[in-house]
Structure 1
Amino acid sequence: MNLSIVIPLLNEAESLPELYQWITRVMEENKFSYEILFIDDGSTDESWKIIYQLSNDDSHVKGIRFQRNFGKSQALHAGFAQAIGDVVITMDADLQDSPDEIPELYQMITQEGYHLVSGWKKKRYDSVIAKNIPSKLFNWAARKTSGVHLNDFNCGLKAYANEVVKNIEVSGEMHRYIPVLAKNEGYTKIGEKVVQHQARKYGTTKFGMSRFINGFLDLITIWFLSKFGKRPMHFFGANGVLMFGIGFVAAAIIGVRKLYKLYLGEPAILVTQDPWFYISLTTMIIGTQLFLAGFLGEMILKNKTSVNRYKITQKSGF
């Protein structure tokens, strides 16, 4: 199969029929063999009813319904697990991503050898203050931190070689950083394509300013995981040694000062009255705790098991 199109969604009933028709037209014009995977992330409107009907009418359409809203990352994870196409396309369901971009994205994967191609909405129709400025700041920070030079990490329109989606773990709110996750797994040929951005036609956006705050927090997390995720002791152990070393030096200072006072015949003060005692005690305790955190991290890493982060209540078309 040429293509799997994975579409996570939340309350997009008005957009779904038009999006389905648009994708179908593009697929038929280009003679692709394809599947469309709609992942309903706990919609409370008629979205699932429409997906269920589409899957009954068209064998190309498949649907997965979550029991409640678990988040876009979990929806993508479920879609990636089911995708069988040689190339996997992700796009949003709000009609702001154009299916007409799919053929060129497909060619960049199959003919130019990219592992992943990310869309770049160079000309946007969003609010400048609410989205554009925070998005530019966010993308700048993501580039500097990750080393992946993309202009638009947040763009939902992306293309992947199938092996990429099968070998990355998308969890939490990490869908923004899939290119970084791919790079960390060795898929380094990452491209970018300027894509058309459509103004929202139906409904309202499901994302507020909080997504940028969460995005920066996730950026710190993924930076840490990319450097120390497989060897937590390298981070915690190194800092534990540093803190314990500071404590040892502080203890040595206490000892030298007491010996020096004894040598001069001066009365030595109590250890607990020396501020260096508390510096030594605190840093040694912190150093020990960091060592323990590193050991626990290594043990968890070696014994971790796969845990489902979402619950599917219904499937259709499979």
Structure 2
Amino acid sequence: MICPFCNRNLLLRERPNRTCSHCKRRYALDPKTNSLGMSDARVQRLLPKLTDGGRLKISINQLGAAALPKTSPPKSHSPAVTALGCLWVPLLVGVIMVLAGTNADGVSGFTVFGSILIGVFVLGMIIALASGKKKPTPNPLSGFRSMMLSDWVGVYGALPPGIVDDFPYRRVYLPDGARLAVLCPDRAIAAFLAANGMPERYGAVIATEVEQVPEALPVLVLHDASAPGCRLVIRTREALPGRTVIDAGLPPRAVMRTPGAPARRGDEPAKDLIEWLGESGTLTKDELEWLAGGWTVALVAIRPAKLLAAVGRTVERLAAATPADPERREAEAVGFLTWPGEAGR
């Protein structure tokens, strides 16, 4: 790896305890010893691009989404599938022994031991099925965040310049003359919007839960292109009857066929959730099939400058529109954020 201080190419033996043997300075991330393959140099290369030359502040998860490999994580398997993979050998041997034993007179040892092996397989399957549902695919962003807060802060004393950690308000930040609310359950994006002055610039309340949305204000819902994200919009309208609730996106239709969109495939959502979304009439058949396949595009994966500009345009149009304005009625129906063209870049 390259030393982030003296730029020397270091072999593993030349960097004991994450310390360069040439300049004697300690660094935070070694790609050979952390599970995500991160290095200080990679983080430092990404920062100018993601922060738009230092003009923006971004969250740890936005940095992680850009730094981590773009390949989709492996899908997890159910316990029954795992058991089948581990126990197929005793099952096969057991069947062969039982068949061999049936050709002998009386009950042979083959039959007894074969039956035992088959019983082991059956018992393993019963235990696996009784152990519960399959485990969800682990989120690599959680590992990246922990690594930055422990290893990076431990060495440098603070996060890199321009990086903020999580939503900075323990209560809803209500600016003077608040005109609208932005509901975004992703605390990393909520932190990003707040850190870049959206409350002050637009009179926008930033909330991560429906219960935090003040009364009377119109609500702009910002979410991932995912089954839970699409559900959030419907649930918000149910929780706030009579209120203006706009689906600001990310809509699946805008990204599922966009070249270069940062789509990832994980665990498939529950079938009843997909059926419920279909009954709502808010998604097309193609969108439902895409979501059912476990595909998602996360807001943290959208380039920060592009995301901030798109949300800003949406907020400006919502704040300027009157209740009778045709633009607002159209926005309520389809949302402002259509993410054309270079959505994933």
TM > 0.5 fold call: no
Higher relative contact order by CA 8 Å / sep ≥ 6: 1 or 2?
A: 1
Between structures 1 and 2, the one with greater strand share: 1
TM range (shorter): under 0.3
TM-score by length of structure 1 reads 0.26
